[in-house]
Structure 1
Amino acid sequence: MLLQGGTGIPHLKWFGVEGDYNVMVIDLLGPSLEDLFNYCNRKFSLKTVLMLADQLLNRVEYMHSRGFLHRDIKPDNFLMGLGRKANQVYIIDYGLAKKYRDLQTHRHIPYRENKNLTGTARYASVNTHLGVEQSRRDDLESLGYVLMYFLRGSLPWQGLKAGTKKQKYDKISEKKMLTPVEVLCKSYPSEFISYFHYCRSLRFEDKPDYSYLKRLFRDLFVREGYQFDYVFDWTVLKYPQIGSNPRVRQPSGRTGGTVVPSAERVERTSAGQEVRDRFSGAVEAFARRHGSGTGQHGENLKHKALEDSLLSPKEAVHDSDKTHASSSRNGSTSKRAVISSSRPSSSADPNDQQLSRTSRLVSSSTSSRPSATQRLHHSGPEPRVSSLARKATGRVSRDEPPHRSFEFLSISGDRRK
């Protein structure tokens, strides 16, 4: 509950006990960065990595500001939002999080050694491998490995073979310590080397200079001449026309006049976009009634594949804790929630490894009839699609009852090493 209200923190809707299960209901979110990494053939461009880095640093900084370490920073634990939040990164899975200081006294946890490895070995900091108690510096070092993983496609200590888990951890640790950051970041901008040098220079209780780290990457972004337009690699794959549009094509080497907005800023949509937003749902409903041949009174909603969860940047609002005044399109509202449940366990893994397999229950419901007052006023003739949309909206609201369906989504509990 201490994290609630922050940008990129899933909203906790309900938690409690149901039979033998501990249950938590949170926002329904989109694909993880690991899912999107695979979707993009396991390589992200520098532009995508830098746009992500800005948000990832913000998420980690927020957790630290609330007195918690995450201790399991990895691509699987960062999810993109859905709908208007499709460009916003969320941080999830606080099962290994630890309070590192008291919010009133600001007293830091003491330095300790001989600790078991907590987290995922692939992204664990060098100090974590050495058995040192984790602090803020370790979350940031892990984030650096995530960024290099995205750029390189893999890390040098992946794929090592060993007989036991401990032997594998030892091999990963040895390879990680024997790989200089200059080698790890070879062929990539020197800012990544600076990032690692800074993280490793921090003492146990030091407060990191998050602004310095974000500025490192923002200055690089400007120098490369990129536009902070939230057109990620997966956006271009999903919508190839965006990548070929000269208005959004990325310039090379242009340094003047490039503005890098904060990842927390809201994009104001144009009036034309507002028209599309308000009537898109109605047009889709009209198409379903007259083109699909399916019944009016509802077949079960099907879970969308990964591609269907990726929105065009025109349809999504940028990273922000603010929302547009209009919370619904064509007057309808929808609520979705994810229920994560796991059996309570009386025994803990001695290595503080990942907790348990979970299942998610997705609840989707749509309701309410569009209000007669929800109209757009235009000077001049009204677009043809608007009248079509109004007609379709009226039919759908009268003829089609609200859909209520539930689907079980199995989520793998396997943790990559």
Structure 2
Amino acid sequence: MSPRNPRIPDSSNDREIPGVVGNQYRVGRRIGEGSFGVIFEGTDLNRKKAVALKFENRKASVPQLRDEYKVYKILSGVSCIPSAYYFGQEGAYNVLVIDILGPSLEDVFEKSHRKFSVKTVAMLAIQMILRIQSVHEHGLIYRDIKPDNFLLGRPNSSHETSVYMVDFGMAKYYINPKTKQHIPFRERKSLTGTARYMSINTHLGREQSRRDDLESLGHVFMYFLRGSLPWQGLKAANAKQKYSKIGEKKQTTSIKELCGGFPEEFAQYMNYVRTLGFEDKPDYKRLRGLFEQVLEKMGQRNDGMYDWVSQDHGLVCTL
């Protein structure tokens, strides 16, 4: 049985997490953490189902959970976006309650010896492009594409090979909800996202739009295929210099060099997304078609048989 009052570290001292949140959600064991705070497994006492509870210190320098809750409500009912059930304050914390899911793509990548097959990456790409398209169709850009933010469905469920998007704390409108106009192009913007995957334009301080989410996604695909990216492991005196070095390396690494040795469709994807204009609407169907073509050329089907799934559709490893 889970402890009634689990504790999580705070910058100044340990503060207790309540045993029940919102009179409805029982807090169980700690299952993860991120820059915002920590995640606990829990139970919805009314619906008798498992949920995830995200806790964030109310005094956080940039609180994100309230904004994330609003985004989940905007995306309510969208396929493979978890439902959000509750947001509120409990003691020293903001708390967000959402559907509980399975491991992240980063988790299964680690378990797969940090390399995915071309078939697995092509099938993931088709799903991930669909997820990004759904977000964009609601007037939002994501702005923090990374493998950690794509989760599989719960193991042993009918959705265990479905790819979900989570962690919408950095999302923002690229279409003004009132005027329905695209946001204006701006420069000298502070960096938003994860340096390893962010687009070249983001490194250059340019306002992000749909093209940047898709470029970041392309960097994730190549990370999965190669095992690492050419700009990983660069040394610098501080974070600002490191971001600058990563940006420079991205600009000097040709698409041919980045995608060499893999099906040409991966380079075609990168060329397409890097030549999109700031306000251009991406052709998502065309992009998915590239990866359907990869599978077709290999004589493979999009059958959900990923590298980490055994022939009897069970997870190969315990995650």
TM-score (norm 2): 0.74
1:66 matched to 2:138:
yes
Corresponding residue to 1:125 among 191, 199, 209: 199
Helix, strand or coil at the partner of 1:24: strand
Helix, strand or coil at the partner of 1:120: coil
Counterparts of 1:162 and 1:221, CA distance in 2: 40
Give the greater-gyration-radius structure (CA).
1
1:234 matched to 2:308:
yes
1:307 matched to 2:317:
yes
Q: Match for residue 206 of structure 1?
A: 280
Tell me if structure 1 keeps the 8 A contact 2:211–2:282.
yes
Corresponding residue to 1:17 among 65, 82, 89: 89
User: Sequence identity, in percent?
Assistant: 55
Counterparts of 1:28 and 1:242, CA distance in 2: 20
Q: Match for residue 322 of structure 1?
A: none
Q: Post-superposition shift, 1:55?
A: 0.6
Q: Match for residue 102 of structure 2?
A: 30
Tell me if structure 2 keeps the 8 A contact 1:66–1:103.
no
Q: Post-superposition shift, 1:227?
A: 2.0
Counterparts of 1:62 and 1:242, CA distance in 2: 27
Residue pairs, 1:378-397, within 5 angstroms: none
Structure having greater relative contact order (Cα 8 Å, sep ≥ 6): 1
Tell me if structure 2 keeps the 8 A contact 1:124–1:138.
yes
Counterparts of 2:316 and 2:237, CA distance in 1: 36
Q: Post-superposition shift, 1:104?
A: 5.5
Corresponding residue to 2:153 among 72, 81, 87: 81
When you count strand as a share of all residues, which structure comes out higher? 2
Counterparts of 2:243 and 2:316, CA distance in 1: 32
Corresponding residue to 1:96 among 139, 149, 170: 170
Counterparts of 1:81 and 1:89, CA distance in 2: 7
Corresponding residue to 1:156 among 213, 227, 230: 230
Tell me if structure 1 keeps the 8 A contact 2:78–2:134.
yes
Counterparts of 1:103 and 1:112, CA distance in 2: 19
Tell me if structure 2 keeps the 8 A contact 1:43–1:150.
yes
Counterparts of 2:99 and 2:301, CA distance in 1: 30
Q: Match for residue 215 of structure 2?
A: 141
Counterparts of 1:46 and 1:306, CA distance in 2: 18
Tell me if structure 1 keeps the 8 A contact 2:309–2:316.
no
Tell me if structure 1 keeps the 8 A contact 2:308–2:316.
no
Q: Post-superposition shift, 1:228?
A: 1.9
1:171 matched to 2:245:
yes
Counterparts of 2:125 and 2:246, CA distance in 1: 24
> Unaligned 5+ residue runs, structure 2?
1-72
Q: Post-superposition shift, 1:162?
A: 0.7
Q: Match for residue 299 of structure 1?
A: none
Q: Match for residue 3 of structure 2?
A: none
Tell me if structure 2 keeps the 8 A contact 1:40–1:234.
yes
User: How many residues align structurally?
Assistant: 245
Letter of the aligned partner of 1:219 in structure 2? Q
> Unaligned 5+ residue runs, structure 1?
244-304, 310-417
Task: Identify if the C-alpha distance between structure 1 residues 46 and 306 changes in structure 2 by more than 3 Å, giving closer, same or farther.
Answer: closer
Q: CA RMSD in A?
A: 1.7
Helix, strand or coil at the partner of 2:158: helix
Letter of the aligned partner of 1:58 in structure 2? L
Corresponding residue to 1:53 among 113, 118, 125: 125
1:111 matched to 2:185:
yes
Q: Match for residue 219 of structure 1?
A: 293
Residue pairs, 1:266-305, within 5 angstroms: none
**1:392-415: per-residue Cα shift (whole Å, max 9, x none)?**
xxxxxxxxxxxxxxxxxxxxxxxx
Q: Post-superposition shift, 1:102?
A: 2.6
